[in-house]
Amino acid sequence: MDNERGRFGTFGGQYVAETLMNALIALEKSYCRYKDDPAFQKELTYYLTEYSGRETPLYYAQRLTEYLGGGRIYLKREDLNHTGAHKINNVLGQILLAKKMGKTRIIAETGAGQHGVATATAAAMFGLQCEVYMGEEDVQRQALNVFRMNLLGAKVNPVRSGTRTLKDATNEAIRDWVAHAEDTFYVIGSVVGPHPYPMMVRDFQRIIGDEVKKQILAMENRLPDYIIACVGGGSNAMGIFYPFMEDRDVKLVGAEAAGLGIETGEHAATLAEGKIGVLHGMMSYFLQDEDGQINPPYSISAGLDYPGIGPEHAFLRDSGRAEYVSVTDKEALAAFKLLAELEGIIPALESAHAIAHAVKCCPATRKDEIIVVNLSGRGDKDVYTVSRALEGNPNE
Amino acid sequence: MNRIDQKFEDLRESSQKALITYVTAGDPELESTKALVLEMAQKGADLIEIGIPYSDPVADGPVIEKAAQRALSQKIKIKDIMEIVKEIRKASQVPLLYLVYFNCILQYGGEAFVSDCKNVGIDGLIVPDLPFEESGELRAMGEQYDIRMITLIAPTSKDRIQKIVQGAKGFIYCISSMGVTGTRDRFSTNFMDFIEEIGKYSDIPKAIGFGISTPAQIRQLKDYCDAMIVGSAIVKVIEKYGDSEGLVQKVGEFVGTLKKGMA
């Protein structure tokens, strides 16, 4: 699927300053060497198992299934990973690679703070210096994660330029990397950025889908009919989709953030409303105006608040292999509450977008159909945001 | 003949080096961009880069990023910038380049952008986020429309230099140090080795840019190369005097002192 020079069809590529080209070439070389190295894979599996607690359960959500009255819903419990989200899968892989490459300093960008926390965690465990760039707006709405990163010994740099969210944090991390490429490893948190990142992050996240395949075959003796995941940059979705790519009967559905509604312009629905462009080193779809100026995205969920999407998702959408839908803040909040009340699981607001789509489409499915939803993270970090949003509308 | 090539030929004949200056279009507003370009040319800028403001200028430091935000806050469009360049061309034959991020070119429509550049009198393009491997199509259009696509070389380019300077035209933009644009007190690059290495593979003019802000730095570095590029230091002057009557004069004076460093 991915061809020469990191293209997925027309998407992907390496649109970076010349200063970074040799760093990317070295990274690709190093990654290609270690990804098939049994010793590296063994070490990575050790940390995923003993440190992060994999494999994560595939949980049959009986009460949610009964409530919706359609197909059987399974939740892939990535929220049960160490640090509370799927982000650690990729971070452990990249930091292990950084160690092999002899890098001493780690930088990362973060939106909701989950990737920043995961990176700070792994950096602490491996004894590496770590700095995290985070938009000032996100620093405020995800204060708990900022505190966690500080506890883990990372330096959090609030980013005050532009929209002060994930996009600008990514800009600032790229600028840091341009200045320090020789000793610094940039741990990108999603399937975005210049080649080889989209491919590498997908490969580190595919463990989600690999486990789902094994688990669902053991439980149901067949593959699911639907796999639903939320999409910001798209790493949890790519990770759960990828092992099912050739299983054409499995419908892959990505849920983008529609914010206040696509018609209001206040959203982060990149595939619904974006145009092909170049940002953060990749060609993909972006929310932008006719001059190529990037439009500020909006979502209640900091992790989905990104104006672009990973290039492989752009390719999967245009080739028809995956379908992408939009979910509003309001729908995500309702799903957040519903899952808490019916299953005793508080999902991340990001993951609540995937749940919300399952809530929408499940009643129309047959009872013998199987729906897997990727519960990419837990929602402790979001309880203040949700309580503020529900204030005045407690019954919504 | 392309104005960039002509300029370097003229300078070589008189054993002089080029001063290249920068201004962000629309900072503080579009009318003063015209006045600033003409004044800089008057005060000794040999070539001038006009920055197209961009929402996400990842190759630039805070000074130029803020300039872009000041420009964009007035809803300046690329079409408006093209018009101003047309106006400037009526009054001056100074070689002009756009400093432009690739997404702006892409949305404007690739070939439409390059052909409009030709029509309004732009002579070259510097696209900081388009490395050699991704630039084939644009370089071909540059050939077709006689617009110079400027090749950038970084201290980290090393084994890539030979490949990426092949066929380079106009001049080679030698990035002084790692990092983004913005003034620097010191450089860790060994310029003698750096420029010599590039010179092994290309005999077109070499310009040093990134971090150069004072006549003293120009004096220190000019012997290594054919041109010096000053950007953020000029934008700082514009930022300081943006609202005042004396803006154009202050920028002109600053360019005049830089020019003295070139002597």
Are A119 and A189 within 8 A, CB to CB? yes
Instruction: Please say if the pLDDT value at position B11 is more than 60.
Output: yes
Among the partner residues B61, B102, B157, nearest to A278 by beta-carbon distance: B102
CB contact under 8 A, A22 and B156: yes
Q: Note the pLDDT of residue A2.
A: 45
Residue A396 has a pLDDT of 45
- Chain A CB contacts of B179 under 8 Å are 19, 175, 178-179
pLDDT tens column, A94-123:
999 999 999 999 999 998 899 999 999 999
Span A179-227, pLDDT tens digits? 999 899 999 999 999 999 999 999 999 999 999 999 999 999 999 999 9
Say yes or no to pLDDT of A79 above 90. yes
Cα angle: B99, vertex B103, B104; to 5 degrees: 55
Q: What average pLDDT score do residues B33-54 get?
A: 98
pLDDT for the residue numbered A392: 60
Residue A4 pLDDT grade (very low, low, confident, very high; cuts 50, 70, 90) = low
Does A393 score more than 80 pLDDT? no
DSSP-based helix, strand, coil % in chain B, nearest 5:
50, 15, 35
Flag if A14 and B179 touch (Cβ within 8 Å). Answer: no
- The 10s digit of each residue's pLDDT in A137-156 is 899 888 889 999 999 999 99
Residues B46-92 have pLDDT tens digits of 999 999 999 999 999 999 999 999 999 999 999 999 999 999 999 99
The burial of B25, by beta-carbon neighbours within 10 Å (0-12 exposed, 13-18 middle, 19 or more buried), is given as buried
The DSSP code for A48 is I
A vs B, Cβ pairs < 8 A, gives 116
Taking phi first (over 0 means left), then psi (-120 to 50 degrees means alpha), and beta for anything else, what does residue B75 get? left
- Mean pLDDT along residues A276-304: 96
Q: What is the pLDDT of residue A389?
A: 93
In DSSP terms, B49 is beta-bridged to B22, B97
Q: What pLDDT was estimated at residue B180?
A: 87
pLDDT score recorded for residue B183? 78
pLDDT of residue A1: 41
CA distance B148 to B125: 6
- Chain position carrying tokens 């002579």: B123
- Model pLDDT, residue B243: 82
Please say whether the dihedral angle defined by the alpha carbons of residues B107, B110, B113 and B117, taken in this order, is positive or negative.
positive
Q: Does the pLDDT at position A395 exceed 60?
A: no
Distance between A235 CA and the closest CA of chain B, angstroms: 23
From the candidates B65, B107, B116, which should be mutated to test the interface with A, based on the most A CB atoms within 10 A?
Answer: B107
Residues of chain A with Cβ-Cβ distance to B164 below 8 Å are 18
B126 to chain A, minimum CA–CA distance in Å?
Answer: 11
Length reported for chain A: 396
Residue A52 has, within 13 A of its CA and on its CB side, a CA count of 32
* pLDDT of A394 strictly over 80: no
Contacts of A26 (CB under 8 A, 6+ apart): A101
Residue B7 has pLDDT above 60, yes or no: yes
Q: Where are the alpha helices (DSSP H) in chain B?
A: 3-13, 30-42, 62-72, 78-91, 102-108, 111-120, 136-145, 161-165, 191-199, 215-221, 232-241, 247-262
pTM, two decimal places:
0.96
- What is the CATH topology of the domain spanning B3-262? TIM Barrel (3.20.20)
More confident residue, A341 or A181: A341
Interface test with B, best of A18, A168, A283, A288 (most B CBs within 10 A): A18
**Mean pLDDT over the full length of chain A:** 95
To the nearest whole Å, the CA of A14 is away from the closest chain B CA by 7
Instruction: Classify strands B96-99 and B47-51 as parallel, antiparallel or unpaired.
Output: parallel
Q: Spell out the domain ranges in chain B.
A: 3-262
**Does pLDDT of B20 surpass 90?**
yes
From the list A109, A137, A273, A331, the catalytic residue is A109
Q: Please write the tens of the pLDDT for every residue from A26-70.
A: 999 999 999 999 999 999 999 999 999 999 999 999 999 999 999
More confident residue, A298 or A394: A298
Q: Assess contact for B209 and B180: CB atoms under 8 A.
A: no
Mean pLDDT of chain B: 96
Q: How far apart are CA A254 and CA B6, in angstroms?
A: 55
Q: Residue A126 in contact with residue A99, Cβ under 8 Å?
A: yes
Q: How many residues does chain B have?
A: 263
Please, how many CA atoms are within 13 Å of residue A279, restricted to the half-sphere of its CB? 31
Neighbours of B108 (CB within 10 A): 22
